[in-house]
Structure 1
């Protein structure tokens, strides 16, 4: 953003507040790194959107490849000419400093998949393809970065969780539900903007197009999905906490691991309240006050690379 846009809009977007409400209990340097990464993610999302709207496939392809490269060698991209790439590299370097290399490799694997999912969304939107409901749900788990936000629970707890813990059915289901809630609630709140912009990537739009629902019915369906996430989470949360208790086997490692799992599950719960608050406080979704309901007033084409 230009300086005047930053002064006018940055605080009201509440990007860092969203993370502060989710990763409660994290060491300050971890929370700061995650908050900065989150702010970067929203800016990246806006750049992606502008490249689609203004039909800039070459610019998007260049950015996509640079992000893949920065993810694998962030130190080499800290002073990249594109501030978006340099900012990403800075975030990755900091996030990679908290846990062992095995966690870093997993984070990188998950984010490479996110970049490629954004590329699939780019093609769908440019070509006007509305994915089926099933296709959209699978793709949304990647474009919303479900497993990235779940991975980031671990540096907050100070422990890299072993596979047997991360892949435990109750733990994994609780994590998925917290992220599905967020993604679908985001779709619900973004629907007016995305309809105004004639977009194709929204669960509500897929429901209207492929399930032949009216817009009102699609909104009702979205609300039901959101409510079901909450109800199911409340059940599986107890199972995940019982699993955490079972890890405390009398050893120091068992005690630490059980406490880490409880901290992660607690922050999965926090995701619900933080996401709900964010969507009603952030200027990113206040479309009724924008001159153009399809375009946030803080987005400029020049900032997105159009000169």
Structure 2
């Protein structure tokens, strides 16, 4: 299928979406938006990657724009103040670099290097101001981006974000050991782990500074809000699995819904692709119902008080951006060089990564 993308150029371009990955409902019912700050965002995140030494200059020059990391965030957090969106985009770019570092530490059998990094990331998350000048760019990059994120909302939000990301770091450690030992988690084990490694609650937390408001616990934990948030993230994680299955099979990965289905449910590759796609489509249809429930919640919060009106508006902004996540994730996977495994010289080695160990001092 050919689909119209309004992504990274001023004029629409036609992108060929493989039939197995095409989702007409996304293309018709989830119109794509892009934050007007996007061109500056891309430029500044590219400069930040260089400044923090997160990618070598030659790889930034050749690959950074084509990886479309800023496009993904600019299509998600619509309405965010520019400084908030910039901090989120830099943090997101850092997250991809960290993910690649984790992968290379596994591929090159560097458990000691990973263990050191894991401990340093936990410390940097708790005291980012003390780690912005760290010798390891991945540690310094987390500290820099997180310190900026912590400036936007009160301490309660910061503590929640830190708690959620500590859990993500530990989930990455479980992934490390699974891959090192060749352990493919069962489907249920994988789904639980994936909610952490994909950082479901981190990206959901970041909806709040984008909306300029920390939501009350009762609102965030309300079943209508939480269900819509979870479905938007599950869609993203499972669609990522669908698109990255060839890359991850080539790289001897063990963490992919398709791989768990093949290993533990004895599905063929074709059957696994069909099942992952079914789950993806189910997320979309269930979200459309959950979205209405979350918007009804927003209506009930507007009780005629100033605070009620502000909370209602913030919930509407967050739910609107949950919807934007569907189209942003969808187009990202067809525009980003991160998934063009067939064009790589070595299908198991992304050309944009640095294979060397870092942070050994």
Query: What TM-score do the two structures reach when normalised by structure 2?
Result: 0.84
Task: Spell out the pairing of 1:167-246 with structure 2 (5 A cutoff).
Answer: 167-246=221-300
Q: Is the 8 A contact 1:193 1:295 kept in 2?
A: no
Gaps of 5+ in 1: none
Q: Does structure 1 residue 48 correspond to structure 2 residue 102?
A: yes
Structure 1 range deviating more: 292-301 or 17-26: 292-301
Q: CA shift at 1:303, angstroms? A: 6.4
SS at match of 1:22: coil
Query: Equivalent residue for 2:326?
Result: 272
For residues 277 and 346 of structure 2, the distance between their equivalents in structure 1, rounded to whole angstroms, comes to 26
Paired residues, number? 307
Out of 160, 163, 172, the residue aligned to residue 109 of structure 1 is 163
1:69 — aligned with what? Answer: 123
- 1:204–1:219 Cα contact (<8 Å) kept: yes
Deviation at 1:304, TM superposition (A): 5.2
CA contact (8 A) 2:241 2:257 kept: yes
- Equivalents in 1 of 2:357, 2:242: separation in Å? 27
Equivalent pair of 2:247/2:348 in contact (CA under 8 Å): yes
- Could you tell me whether the CA contact under 8 Å between 2:184 and 2:255 is conserved in 1? yes
- Inter-partner Cα distance in structure 2 for 1:252 and 1:2: 50
Q: Return structure 1 stretches of 4+ with deviation > 6 angstroms.
A: none
Q: Which residue of 2 aligns with 1:137?
A: 191
Distance 2:109 2:359 in 1: 12
Deviation (angstroms), 1:198: 1.3
What is the CA RMSD across the aligned residues, in angstroms?
1.2
Partners of 1:207 and 1:121 lie apart in 2 by 17
Partner residue in 2 for 1:162: 216
Equivalent-residue separation in structure 1 for 2:357 and 2:303 (angstroms): 54
Gaps in structure 2 of 5+ consecutive residues: 1-54
Distance 1:68 1:305 in 2: 15
* Distance in 2, Cα, partners of 1:13 & 1:104: 29
Are 1:82 and 2:170 matched, yes or no?
Answer: no
